[in-house]
Amino acid sequence: MKQYHIQKYKSENYDVWNEFVAQAKNATFLFHRDFMEYHQDRFEDYSLLVFDENHKLQALVPANISNQHVFSHQGLTYGGILINQKTRLSDFILIAKEVFEYWNQKGVQKATFKEIPTIYHQIPSNEFQYLVFLMQGKLVRRDVLSVLDLKAKFTYSRDRKNGIKRGIKNDLIVKEEANFELFWSEILIPNLVDKYQVKPVHSLEEIQHLHNRFPKNIRQFNVYQNDKIVAGTTVFESNFVAHSQYISANTKKNELGSLDFLHDYLISNVFKDKDYFDFGISNESEGRNINEGLLYWKESFGARSITQDFYEIEIKNYKLLDKVLL
């Protein structure tokens, strides 16, 4: 039986961590240390590296800890145990047992995981869902992502087609920008404060810093009418997926058709060679409610639902993995 040992992440692991992320079968640029550490002052990092008996890195666990409760990772959209393309299910079970036993020895009580949606996998990788079953994990939240399959046949609704026509009639123009300030200051922040009394998860300084570090992955598209910004979206681009992280427009969005025009441009031109366009969630109240108007808008492009589950696992249940492999 293979043997593994655990090492808590240190700054000297920066290169080997990022090299593994680049070739992992269930990872995206969000797990690069430069992305994870932009908000390191908010979280106590508790990330782990898993090595085999030959001292070869076999898995990563992006995580933070709070009050003996491990999260994977509270600053990221998704998380889990990252593995390479050669990892077999039996290896994954042994790796997971080693990770949870390590946490148990450190006095950790619980772990909360946000699963990585399957559309972000490089190749099939549902080992973690099986692990949750084996360890009697508890489903504590389920969000619904509206995803457009760009490789399948899809059609826009009449409402979306009419919106696109209004955008053309109103002489709207889409521009990709390297500066996020205009969208953040004139559109996104005012809208979020007015509607929800909140600010974006990323400050202007943070998103600009992340774009500078990941210019091919974090992209800003603004819509203009007569040289005045009227709408925009911030897109997180990974290997197979383009995801609208932030979407916002001024009060004339329906009259101008700005968001319809923008997203048709992205779907039909910029990201037409991707596998999926992810409009994100329309959930509120930890997944238990849906903003029906927002959901309708996304689905009227042809997007349909996939789920993202959040699980809570008792650390002591690692002992249940002892008798899985016969």
The continuous run of DSSP H or E covering 42 comes out as none
Residue 161 exposed, middle or buried by CB count within 10 Å (0-12, 13-18, 19+)? middle
How many domains are there within the chain? 2
Average the pLDDT over 55-74 and give the result: 97
In percent, the amount of the chain with pLDDT more than 70 equals 100
DSSP β-bridge partners for residue 61: 48
Q: What is the pLDDT of residue 284?
A: 92
Average the pLDDT over 191-217 and give the result: 95
Q: What is the pLDDT of residue 2?
A: 85
30-50 pLDDT, tens digit per residue, is 999 999 998 888 899 999 999
Do 78 and 181 lie in one domain? The reply is no
Do 32 and 136 lie in one domain? The reply is yes
Q: What is the pLDDT of residue 135?
A: 98
> Residue 107 corresponds to which tokens in the numbers above?
């006095």
pLDDT level of residue 1 (50, 70, 90 thresholds): confident
pLDDT level of residue 320 (50, 70, 90 thresholds): very high
Who contacts 105 (Cβ-Cβ below 8 Å, separation ≥6)? Answer: none
Average the pLDDT over 302-310 and give the result: 97
Q: What is the pLDDT of residue 302?
A: 98
Q: What is the pLDDT of residue 41?
A: 84
Do 232 and 123 lie in one domain? The reply is no
* C-alpha to C-alpha distance for 117 and 48, rounded to whole angstroms: 21
Q: What is the pLDDT of residue 313?
A: 98
Q: Residues 13, 7: contact at Cβ < 8 Å? A: yes
Structural domain contains residue 58 = yes
Nearest by Cα to 69 from 96, 46, 40: 46
Q: Which residue has the tokens 């209004």?
A: 166
Half-sphere exposure of 284 (CA within 13 A, CB side): 8
Structural domain contains residue 302 = no
pLDDT level of residue 9 (50, 70, 90 thresholds): very high
CATH code at 96?
3.40.630.30
Do 8 and 137 lie in one domain? The reply is yes
Q: What is the pLDDT of residue 161?
A: 98
Name the amino acid, one letter, at 273: D
SS3 content of the chain, % helix, strand, coil (to 5): 35, 30, 35
* C-alpha to C-alpha distance for 126 and 116, rounded to whole angstroms: 9
Do 122 and 44 lie in one domain? The reply is yes
Half-sphere exposure of 98 (CA within 13 A, CB side): 25
The residue segments making up the domain with residue 67 are 4-142+308-321
118-177 pLDDT, tens digit per residue, is 999 999 999 999 999 999 999 999 999 999 999 999 999 999 999 999 999 999 999 999
Given a cut of 90, whether residue 222 has pLDDT beyond it is yes
Do 50 and 171 lie in one domain? The reply is no
> Residue 250 corresponds to which tokens in the numbers above?
């001024």
Structural domain contains residue 29 = yes
Q: What is the pLDDT of residue 215?
A: 98
What number of other Cβ atoms are within 10 A of residue 189's Cβ? Answer: 17
Q: What is the pLDDT of residue 40?
A: 85
pTM for the predicted model, two decimal places: 0.95
Q: What is the pLDDT of residue 195?
A: 86
Average of per-residue pLDDT values in the chain: 97
DSSP β-bridge partners for residue 304: 147
Q: What is the pLDDT of residue 196?
A: 86
Do 122 and 12 lie in one domain? The reply is yes
Nearest by Cα to 9 from 177, 1, 18: 18
pLDDT level of residue 67 (50, 70, 90 thresholds): very high
